[in-house]
Amino acid sequence: MNSRITAICLTTTLAVAHGYATSYHTVESAQHACFPEGGEFTSVDVKLTRDQRKAIEKASGVKVKDESQRVWRVINKGEAAGWFIVDEVIGKHELITYALALDAHGSVKSIEVMDYRENYGSEIRQADWRRQFVGKKSSDKLKLEDDIKNITGATLSCRHVSEGVKRLLSLYELVLKN
Amino acid sequence: MNNKLLLLTIAGLLTITAARADERFFTYVYDADVIPKGQWEFEQWLTFRKGYQDGDSNFEQYFWDFREEIEYGLTEKLSGSLYLNFQQSQVVAQQVGGADSSDFAFKGISAELKYQLLNPNTQPVGVALYFEPTYNGNEQELEYKLIVSKNLGDHWVLAANAVYEQEWEQEDGETERESVFEFNAGVAYRFTPNWSVGLEGRYNAVYEGLGLDERLGAGWFVGPNVHYGTSRWWATLTVLPQIAGTPSDGGIDTLEHQIFETRLIFGINF
């Protein structure tokens, strides 16, 4: 009996797959995709104080886990063109790295998925789904099945990216804008 | 022996290297999530059950139930599965002179259809319908489930099922008919993106006849579970002792139900 049980368990255990992350963009290619008109990207050292983190959490309803944020100010032909932010959220088990582009007024200009480590749910890369965020401001709900459509089978990825964008829009209003 | 090796080889071939799992947080309770359209999933089930043969504590009975399941997302709301069922059984006499026995058998094939009416992630409550026929030569079974579940945020998963089964067994020209009613429920808490712990409970009652006619025995089972999931694979383990039952033998039903069960399900998607 023990050898049969061992054989069945082993044949299953041997089938464990090696997962992989898919990288769709580097920082540079994401910057170009978000600002195809071009521009000068200047890295900004954003380190949030405890009060700033609490204010963003209160405004967005989303927890702020990291005190630092990767942000670039974008200047085009001498004028402020917007902001480029790289952020990470958990999909279901693994991190999703994405880039958010804001225009000079703090509205969403574009969103690009840079690294996707879950092995399904990558439909969030579809242009139709990402296009829902264009024009969103910090006052918008950014809620699944409300102003953001869900993708069946990728609910957690959709929800967490939506929450991430909401958090970053509050970051703009409370920290970057000034 | 050759047939057993062949069956094990088939089981092994079905374990194709895979990408990621549509995970289960419970092993006895179902939730209303369905595998996405076009996705395949393989699950290995391992259930250990301990009881008394015909309710006689002089003969301890052990079962190892193996199920190989292959599942496919037919549409966004409908999934289908096929199962191969195997069982290792053993009787150990507790008194000198009693006869021990051991047997390994193929226990037939099962099919499954699960249809999601409401999505537990996006609607106030998730609801799904489930149907599973089993065929094993002179034994046939039809199982129906109503599944209700809800995913609360990122941390909590709640589920409850109402289950009705009809069973037929032909022997010596006669057909024995039984039916089963079960109510089960579970709660799980994800304390990291990979780990969850939870609780599962079952009330299972066996009846003479197909229409829940005369109750032969009923048992209550409650126990903890633990789950680990990654983007590559997942596994869930439940431990489920019987805590009460009727007809009572020291407070539990030993005639129609086991005194202790534990189940491990390991899953991979591709």
pTM over 0.95: no
Beta-carbon count within 10 A of B194 CB: 15
CB B231 within 8 A of CB B205: no
Burial classification of residue A123, based on how many CB atoms lie within 10 Å of its CB (0-12 exposed, 13-18 middle, 19 or more buried): middle
Give B11-16 contacts, CB < 8 A, sequence gap 24+.
B11/A8, B11/A11, B11/A12, B11/B66, B11/B68, B11/B84, B12/A11, B12/A12, B12/A14, B14/B42, B14/B68, B14/B70, B15/A11, B15/A12, B15/A14, B15/A15, B15/B42, B15/B44, B15/B268, B16/A15, B16/B42, B16/B270
pLDDT in tens, A118-163: 877 788 999 999 999 999 999 999 998 899 999 888 888 999 999 9
Nearest alpha carbon to residue A39 among A71, A82, A69, A70: A82
Asked if B119's CB is within 8 angstroms of A17's CB, the reply is no
Name, in order, each residue with C-beta under 8 angstroms of A91's C-beta and a sequence gap of 6 or more: A116, A117, A118, A121, A156, A157, A160, B231
CB A90 within 8 A of CB A97: no
Residues of A in contact with B39 (CB under 8 A): 120, 153
Nearest alpha carbon to residue A61 among B151, B123, B153, B125: B153
Burial classification of residue B40, based on how many CB atoms lie within 10 Å of its CB (0-12 exposed, 13-18 middle, 19 or more buried): middle
**Confidence (pLDDT) at A138:** 95
**Confidence (pLDDT) at B235:** 97
**Confidence (pLDDT) at B121:** 87
Percentage of residues of chain A with pLDDT beyond 90: 74
Q: What is the DSSP letter of A18?
A: -
CB B167 within 8 A of CB B139: yes
Instruction: Using alpha carbons, list the distances in angstroms from residue B120 to A47, A73, B192.
Output: 38, 40, 20
- Judged by average pLDDT, the poorest of A34-43, A76-85, B17-26, B119-128 is B17-26
Query: CA-CA distance, A49 to A47, in Å (whole number)?
Result: 7
Closest-CA residue in chain A for B103? A1
Asked if A4's CB is within 8 angstroms of B268's CB, the reply is no
Q: How many Å lie between the alpha carbon of B258 and the closest alpha carbon of chain A?
A: 20
Nearest alpha carbon to residue A82 among A128, A124, A123, A35: A35
Query: CA-CA distance, A154 to A150, in Å (whole number)?
Result: 8
- Nearest CB partner across the interface for B231, out of A8, A19, A152: A19
∠B102-B108-B113 over CA atoms, to 5°? 140
The SS3 call for residue B149 is strand
**Confidence (pLDDT) at A14:** 46
How much is the ipTM here?
Answer: 0.77
Nearest alpha carbon to residue B232 among B265, B267, B264, B197: B267
Asked if A145's CB is within 8 angstroms of B19's CB, the reply is no
Backbone Cα Rg of chain A: 19
Asked if A145's CB is within 8 angstroms of B15's CB, the reply is no
pLDDT-derived band at A7 (thresholds 50, 70, 90) equals low
Backbone Cα Rg of chain B: 19
Query: CA-CA distance, B170 to B175, in Å (whole number)?
Result: 4
- Per-residue pLDDT 10s for chain B (270 aa) are 455 554 554 444 443 333 333 689 999 999 999 998 888 999 999 999 999 988 888 889 999 999 999 999 999 899 999 999 999 999 998 877 777 889 999 999 999 999 999 999 888 999 999 999 999 999 999 999 999 999 998 899 999 999 999 999 999 999 999 999 999 999 999 999 999 999 999 999 999 999 998 999 999 999 999 999 988 899 999 999 999 999 888 899 999 999 999 999 999 987
The answer to whether A65 faces chain B, any CB pair under 8 Å, is: no
Mutate to test the interface with A, among B7, B24, B122, B262 (most CBs of A within 10 A): B122
